[in-house]
């Protein structure tokens, strides 16, 4: 995204995703997420998905879908 503006990214560090942040976790270390953290990330993902526009169906894709439906109705 930044490259598209004509700028270069030299270093990037993600410190937060959704409501989850790195806090004082040392570099190279990990910890298991709590159930609340996992549920929060799932909720964030569901909200993001709800905000995403529906994919457009082109004429060729629509024709393939119609052919699949016809075959299913005929028992093929």
What does each of the 76 residues of the chain score in pLDDT, given as a tens digit? 777 888 888 888 888 887 888 888 898 899 999 999 999 889 888 888 888 887 777 766 566 666 566 556 666 5
Q: Dihedrals φ, ψ of 15, to 5°? A: -110, -10
What are the structural domain ranges in the chain? 1-52
Q: Which H or E run includes 66?
A: helix 59-73
Give the pLDDT confidence score for residue 7 in this predicted structure: 85
Quote the longest CA-to-CA distance of the chain: 61
Cα separation, 56 vs 71, whole angstroms: 23
Cα separation, 30 vs 2, whole angstroms: 28
| Residues ≥6 apart with Cβ < 8 Å to 65 | 57
């Amino acid at each position: 995204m930044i490259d598209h503006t004509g700028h270069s990214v030299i270093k990037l560090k993600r410190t937060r995703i959704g409501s989850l942040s790195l806090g004082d976790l040392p570099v190279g270390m990990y910890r298991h997420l709590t159930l609340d953290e996992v549920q929060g990330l799932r909720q964030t993902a569901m909200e993001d998905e709800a905000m995403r526009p529906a994919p457009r169906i082109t004429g060729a894709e629509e024709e393939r879908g119609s052919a699949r439906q016809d075959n299913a109705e005929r028992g093929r």
